[in-house]
Amino acid sequence: MAKGNFGIKIRPLKIGGGADVFHGFRSGIGGQTMPNIPYVLGYKIKIDGSGSIGATALAAATTQEFDLDVAFPGREFPNNVWIEEAYIRRITDFAGGSVSAATVEGGDTGNDDELLTATSVFTGVGAGFSRTTGAANYALHDESSFVPTFTINTTTDNVDALTAGELDYVIRFRPSIPALP
């Protein structure tokens, strides 16, 4: 896309452990960033038998919260933003071992399900999009310091027993406009 055109660009970034991070951005006139146009930051969450998501190993526990700034180094979420929404795009159902159910949640270190409350991603759910508009901070809200987290909860067996599953976790945001003096 030519510089100065409005539109979204997606660029994949390969991060170790079988996980990708993708991100999009919008450009404005002359390539200048437009603060009122939304940005997208997405995380590829993939269970592929490697035993990790990004740089974080899967846990021998039924609940595991991933600090996405740590799991995907160099892709820290920006400060001082308005978060618009979050959603997941299910690609492959989660399955493995004797796990009988799996749900995911999205939020930040202060509230692990503020953007996405417990959403099933286990065998039988199938591909598609999910968002939980009833989450505490689903609607547009200001965040001065946001550390994105993603939590996997399993039933009957631990998170590290999962052997398959893939989804994209996406957070839409826009930079905060500074207060006038």
User: What's 139's domain CATH number?
Assistant: 2.60.120
Domain membership flag for residue 166? yes
Whether residue 22 lies inside any domain: the answer is no
Cβ contact 105:117 at 8 Å: yes
Residue 7 is predicted with a pLDDT of: 35
Q: What is this structure's pTM?
A: 0.78
Position 12 confidence tier, pLDDT thresholds 50, 70, 90: very low
CA-derived radius of gyration, the chain = 17
pLDDT of residue 124: 94
**Does residue 9 sit within a domain?**
no
Domain hosting 57: range is 47-175
**In whole angstroms, what is the distance from residue 9 CA to residue 86 CA?**
19
pLDDT value at 162 more than 80: yes
Cα angle 44, 81, 65; round to 5 = 40
pLDDT range class, residue 137, cuts 50, 70, 90: confident
132 in a structural domain: yes
Within 8 A by CB and 6+ apart from 43, the residues are 19, 21, 54, 68, 71, 72, 148, 150, 168, 169, 170
pLDDT-derived band at 120 (thresholds 50, 70, 90) equals very high
Rounded to whole angstroms, the Cα distance separating 84 from 40 reads 10
The pLDDT assigned to 36 comes to 58
- Give the C-alpha separation, 35 to 106, whole Å: 24
- How far apart CA 132 and CA 169 sit, in angstroms, is 13
Q: How many separate domains does the chain show?
A: 1
Whether residue 162 is contained in a domain is answered as: yes
What was the pLDDT predicted at 112?
92
